[in-house]
Amino acid sequence: MRGQNNKRPNVVITGQGVVSVLGNAIPEFWHSLIEGRSGIGPITAFDASGLPCRIAGEVRDFNPSAYMEVKEARRMPRSSQMALAAALQAVRDAGLPDTMPEPERAGVIFGTAMGGVDFVDDGITALRARGYKAISPFTAGGAIPNFPAFVVSKQFQCLGPNNTTTTACAAGTQAVGEGAELIRRGAADLVLVGGTEAFIRDFGIGGFSAMRALPTSYNDNPEKASRPFDAKREGFILSEGAAALVLESEEHARARGARVLARLVGQASSSDGYHVAAPDPDNRGKTRAMRWALEDAGLQPADIDYINAHGTSTEQNDLSETQAIKTLFGEHAYKVAISSTKSMMGHAMGASGALETIISVLAIQHNVIPPTINYENPDPECDLDYTPNQPRKLAVKTALSNSFGLGGQNAVVIVQAYE
């Protein structure tokens, strides 16, 4: 039986940090969102001239040495560098020391779709060009998907439960939800959660191009390329970044006098069990995940003020998500404010859900819905309120954030104002 158990600890969010195409600090990130600024541009990480899609969301101004020693940074893949940077921001935002006061009561759960894929790519290139002795001794260790969680746990001496979610585009959201469950069941008092991704490589863009998942008509106008729910959407924009949140039991946060940003009241995950890329035509997996998250929070659809949509800008996903919201929310589907912030950020895969959880918290704190930019040509089949092109002032008490990944992996979290 799903639903709230009054005896389980309440979970609160006390710290947040970001590394993103829209800024590498929370204030800058939020300002970019409400300004409707796009972080999409021409690819500079490699020569993309031979590819049909030559644009992406690159984090261009990230300096790892601002967060760690240069020698240490060189031993980490980019995804782990960004994860550690976001976690350092979140821990400081929460007013915590760099070493956890009760290490065995502190855990880490981080999500990623690909992990240290840059180390894999560089290692293969070195091997085939110059032999195995040219491979860095840090390649194999740094390439494993759980390396970001290791780096974060080591940095802060979080010696309790440690896990990595690798559920594709749902990984960041699922990491947040699973971190809350650790606290609810009494396995930890504090959990650092988040997601990270750095997959802007030629074979990544090439592979998704082969799937016909990326747009090809916007190479000369990249800021217009990500257009969720718009009738002229062509595909998602691959992006990168990281986000981290500090979750605590309410009792633990209050005992140390922490500032509470929001409550995390509901979470759920589900599987389509249908296809690796195409959504279930009946949208049952998405609908189940949202329904279970509402049940977990003890809420009704009418209690949701804002939905941060998965909204990837692909034809099938945007339609599927719209239909799932209609199925579950009924008439309230036409009243609830929805937006896809991927219209500005692109799709950072395993980092997206953690970034979007933070956006949901910021919407609650500021009572502003960030827009879906590039919504210019209404799709008659996507006919909900997607907050087109301009932010909206709105009292937001409760927000729901969706993530739906390759492999039919679905994850949902619900955050609520702290009173």
Q: Which residues are catalytic?
A: 169, 310, 347
> The sheet that has 337-339: what strands, in order across it?
162-165, 106-111, 190-197, 241-249, 11-19, 262-271, 409-416, 398-405, 306-308, 337-339
CB–CB of 103/160 below 8 Å? yes
Q: What is the DSSP letter of 299?
A: -
CA quadruple 180, 87, 364, 368: dihedral, nearest 10:
-150
Three-state secondary structure call for residue 292 = helix
Q: How many CB atoms lie within 10 A of CB 154?
A: 12
Q: What is the DSSP letter of 376?
A: -
**Where in 166-258 does DSSP place strands (E)?**
190-197, 241-249
Q: Could you tell me the end-to-end alpha-carbon distance of the chain, in angstroms, rounded to an integer?
A: 28
The answer for residues whose C-beta is within 8 angstroms of residue 132's C-beta and 6 or more apart is none
